[in-house]
Structures are given as C-alpha cells and as structure tokens.
Structure 1
Amino acid sequence: MTALAEKGRARIEWADSFMPVLRQIRERWRRERPLEGLRISACLHVTTETANLVRTLAAGGAQVRLCASNPLSTQDDVTAALNEVYDIPTFARRGVDSDEYYRHIHQALEHGPHVTMDDGADLVTTLHTQRQELLGGVRGGTEETTTGVTRLRAMARDGVLRYPVVAVNDARTKFMFDNRYGTGQSTLDGLLRATNVLLAGSTVVVAGYGWCGRGIAARARGMGALVIVTEVEPLRALEAVMDGFACMPMLEAAPLGDVFVTATGNTGVIREEHLLRMKDGAILANAGHFNVEIDVEALARLARARRQVRPGVEEFELPGGKRLRLIGEGRLVNLAAAEGHPAQVMDMSFANQALSVAWLVGEAGTGLAPQVYPVPEAIDREVASLKLQAMGVTLDVLTDRQRRYLAGWQEGT
C-alpha cells in the first residue's frame, strides 16, 4: 500500500466514525446483499464521505465504479485508498482539465451500469448524448444536488430522459441539513482556509436564499458579519428580510461587499457590471455546483494583471489598481479550498442515496416511467429515525386517544 493510500484509509475511517446511519446500513447489507450483481456508475465528489457510501454499496453486493463530479473536489488520497485498499475502481484526480474529467466519466461507464449515481448530472447527460448504446441496460439513477435535479427535470420535460431518477436532493433529511448546515459550515470553512479573512465587521453578500444560501447567511452572521442577500424570487427575498437580512439587487450590493458568495445554481450571477462596481480587495467565492455563477472570463478580460497570492486564491488587478480576489477558480469553494461538508451531515444524504438505490432496484420491475421521482417518504423517515437513534435522542409516542383525535373530525373546542 502506498503512503498516499494509507493516509486516505485513515481519513476514510475517521469520517466513518461520524457516519453511524450509513454504517448501520452497511452492516445490515453485508448480511442481506440486496444489490448482489448490480453494476453502479457513480459520479460524485471523491471525498472521505463518498468513500464510505461506495463501500456501503459494495457491501450490499454491487460492483461500483466511481469518478469525480468536479475537477477540484477530488481528494487524491481517497482515490488511492479506494483503488488500493477497498478495490473499488475510482477514476479521479484533483485539478484535471475538461478532457480528463470527461474521460474519467467514460471510464466509470465502461462496465455498462444498471444504476447511475450523479452529483450535477454530468454522467447522466454524457450517457444520454455520447454513450446511448448503454442506456438499454440502465434501470434507474439517483441525483444528489439541486443543480443536477434541475437539469434532470429539464430533460424529463423535453422528453429525452430515458430512465427513472430519484431526486435525493429533495429528501427533507438531505436539503434541510446537508444544503443548509453542511453548505453553511463548509463554505465558510473554505473561505477562511483560503483567505484567513476576519468576517466580524465585514460585509458578506450572499447571492441566493435557497437552503444553501440560508445556511451561508446564517453562519456568516453568526461570525459577526453584516450580511446582504440578493434574490430574484419574491418569497425567498421576503423570507430573507424577515430573517433580518438586508436584501437588494447585486448592482446595489456590489460596492458594499467585502466578500461575495454565490449559491444560486444559475449562470452569470456576478457579471462584468458588478465586478466594475466592487471595492478594492473584494473576495469572490462560489458555493454553487458549477463554475458559471461568477463570470471568470469577464474578470480575466478586465484584468491588466493577475497573480496567485495564496494557495487557491488568484488576484486580478483591474485598471486603476483595484484588486479582486477569486477563490478556487470560481468552483465549489467548500471543496476547492476545504474538505466539503462534515461527515455527520453527509451521513444522512448518503443514507438516502444508498436506500434509494435499493428502492429503485426493487421498483424496476414495476415499470417506473422515465421521470424524476421523490425519495419515498418511508426512506426519509427511516433516515431521520436512525440519525436520532444514533444521537441518543428519543421521542414521545402518541396515545391511543391522540391518534383517534387526529384521525377524526367530530371533536371541536
């Protein structure tokens, strides 16, 4: 075993110690083998937490191939450990270019999957556009993140999605915890590791007030920042205001912000007109899946000089001497500059992934149409119950009279 693989094994085991729900599923599946003979192609962030997910799938009898869902999210020691220690073929390397990134996706598809697991839908779209000869063998898939679910729903709406996919992102035990608490903490973790900036007293502009944006805004405020939210949806903007945040268009926020974090899942959120209005020293980071939220091409075009000022931080000097600092090439800051979400929260997300795969395999013979499906309520509740059990939390139980009251309509005041 190489030293890199040994380092990865130790870190994977450390993460596993904080993932009791997934560990329980793995131990059960070693006995039951519900995925026996199933071929799974997974395109996910190659982190210690993901390693424990694919270990669980393998324990259930699946043959798994894994590739990375982002060029800067791979932890190379995890790749080494998966290949050398756990014998799970993993095609990933931190910092790959676009050609190698997609070559890895093709390698993950080579064994002809029965099930796909995706984070951003790059594997699914590659399968539908370039590897259509494999589509006949696919029974279903899962999708981990908001951006991917949006893309898959667009495919279903256009009538091109060829197999059923479970939107794991939409499980309450995923988005209410992973997106909010996981993204909130890991985004600030990446920001602080990259810059060592003091948030207390700084103005942080958060673009988007979905579950990820809520978590980022709350954590930034908790560290003493003045937070401004930008939004395009009236209900989310109203919620931000009633949560105590200032809300305004990005053009108005641009001259005020010290730190900008995008979390929308959309393109061109910070554009040239915003960059030109920002103050000297402003820091730019993206917490959305793809590197399209900050217009990096416009930033490069405006710059008269650029240099690396810290690991993972590039400074762009604009005419007049103003400097703007970009973290992680505008890619996911929590993985480009840190380690991603804490294992405790990924425990629930990946439990949903594993159980949804088992559900799909069981439902495949019933003729599920090629649409995007929610995680079954029973799985969501099981994950929540297992997590509470692992945390030592117990609940009240309804009395018979309470059940009758809730089931009836005759009793009033």
Structure 2
Amino acid sequence: MVTEQRRQEALSALGILDTAPEDRFDRVTRLAQRMFGVPMVSITLIDGDRQWRKSHRGLTTEAPRESAFCDVTMRQDSALVIADARSDERFQDNPFVVGDPHLRFYAGEPLHAAGGEAVGTLCVLDTEPHEFSDEEAVMLRDLADWVQAELVRDDDAGGVTLVQTALLPRRKPAATGFEVAAACESGARVSGDFYDWYDVDGGFCVTVGDVVGGGMPAAVVATTVRAALRSATPYAGIERAIAEVSRTLEEDLGRLSLLATVLHARVSSVGDVEYLDAGHGLAFIVREAGGLERLEGGLPLGKSAERVSRTAQLAPGDALLCLSDGAFDALGGEHGLRRSEAIVRGSATPAGAVSRIVGAACAEHPLSEALAIVVRRG
C-alpha cells in the first residue's frame, strides 16, 4: 500500500532504527515513568511487522506489531487512552491483555517524521487500571513533542528540515464535533508551503499558505506569516490579522521577488466558517448531499487591497478541502478536482482522504510538494 510504503520510507530516512540507546531519549522515558507512576514507558517505532523501541522502561526492545496498541495509536494519528483494557470491548481479548505482559492501562501519543508521517508513539502502560486526567494528557503530549523534536533533529541537511518542520503544527486542535487531518510531502527542495491549525474560543482556526519562489527565503517568510497569523487572530480577528501581515510583508516580498498566498479560516463549533482567501484559491466545500463549492478568493499578501472576510457553512457530513498548488497541479488542475472530491467522499476518515490525495499527487509527480487538509463536520 502506497501510504504504508511512504510511512516506512519516512521512518527509515530518520536513520534511527536499530541504533544504540541514547540519553536524549532515555531522559524522556525516565521522566515519564516518574510523572505518571507507571512501570512501563516506551518510545516505540512501528517498523514493518515489529515494534522497535528506541527507549523503554519495563519492556523488551522488540515486540510483534500485530495487535499492538501503539499500532492503533499510530494508525488513528491521535491520542489513545485505555483506562482498563479488560472492560474495553475493543481490547479485552487482545493477546497483550490476556497474555504477557497482561496490560490493563495504556496511554499513547503519536510521533511523526518531518513530513508529518506517523511513525510511532510515546506511551505509558501498566498492569493495573488507571484514570487519566486532562492535565496528564497535556503532559504526555508535551513529552511527545520533545521526543518528536529529537527524532527529526538528525534529519537536518543544512537547516532545511528544521525550517520545514517549523512550518507544521505539532498537534491537532480539539475541534469537538469535527474530524481534521492533513498530509504533507515536502518534495525535492525547500518550499514555502505550510499549514496550521489551533484552538480558539468557540472553535478552531485552519490556515494554508504558500510563499512562491522556493528556497530558504520562502520558508523563512512562510514561518513569519504563520507566526503572525497565529498570534494576531485571537484578539484582532481574521480581517485585521491578514491586513497586518500583508502590510508587514509588502516591502520584503517585493525585494525578495516572492509571492505569498494564504487561506485563513475560523470554524465555529456549529459549522460556521469565516474565511479570507488572499490569493490561495484552492479551498472547497465537499457537500455530503452532492456538489463541490469553491471558496471565493482575492489578491495575494503584499498587495494593497481591502480584503473582506466571507462566510460559509459546514452542515453535518460536509467537508472543507484545502490543497496546495503542487497537489492541485499533480492531480490534473481544474480537470482533476472531481478526483479529489471523489477521494474525500469515498474515504471513511479525513486521514484516509488526505493520505490518498497526497499519495496520488506524489505518484504523478514524485519530486513535487503536495499538501492536503480535510475538515469534516461529524
């Protein structure tokens, strides 16, 4: 399967499989064991048909992948918490529950390669049931962020990967009532493509941007756009945030001969979508009842213009689909939109949809970047 192949390639590219223990990872597992008061902790990478543990406490270095809790966490690409496996119908007959090590409690957070591919987990486990508070969930996410930073640190050619990774959010928004997923393939060189998402009062924000021109200057400008929108939107709103970013970048974009586009949207808990499209033009609503609606766009950033936010509505079952130029072009441009729509409709989850879209785009143009986001209202 293409998705598994790409995930495996991303894992192999980290160059960490079957390497010796390292204190930078062992510090995390030691700290987690103390923080959560559990006998078992693991930084687990899913490699082929095995679980391989870069650092662990109370476990073996390898175990089968089949029936592994960590495999479930990685596949769903979100936190998995099992308070008592014997009373959970999904896991009560699991071989790791009825047999050695007789697990009862499990909490895991997914770990990702630089391109966003889920490659493993940070997990804490016990042979006794546990309650797991919201505060503990946040602590586990923070530790997973630490591990993830260490995983990609060595996958750094002249700072390129670190910059690209900085353009991607480390965790999903809560997005209650919605399913959100993204997939990103960086291509053969540094690009200015980025996406972002984060919680705000009453909902969450989604941003997709592209600084056209390539190279490190484009990636640095993209980082600036992402950070400015994230910091300004909660208090200034979408229109003012975009206006401020555009004014700030006008001189720099002209001097560097770059063009910056962005779609910035705020999704409410009841499906209202306030958005401003500054030259991106590749955001659509896939209606469950049928049809594909394109969100209206305007001038790119750095151009003097009055930009007005617009609104759309996501009804239950509808999906917001955002593509990058690379994914759009690789799938056939305007003529390929129905292909993307069909993928979104035919996928059980947004995670499956974005993986199939990016996989198809990379199959058409292997060296090109490709990015896709799907937000589906449940």
TM-score of the superposition, structure 2-length normalised?
0.34
Give the structure with higher Rg (CA): 1
Q: Which structure is higher in strand share?
A: 2
Q: Which has the higher contact order (CA 8 A, sep 6+)?
A: 1
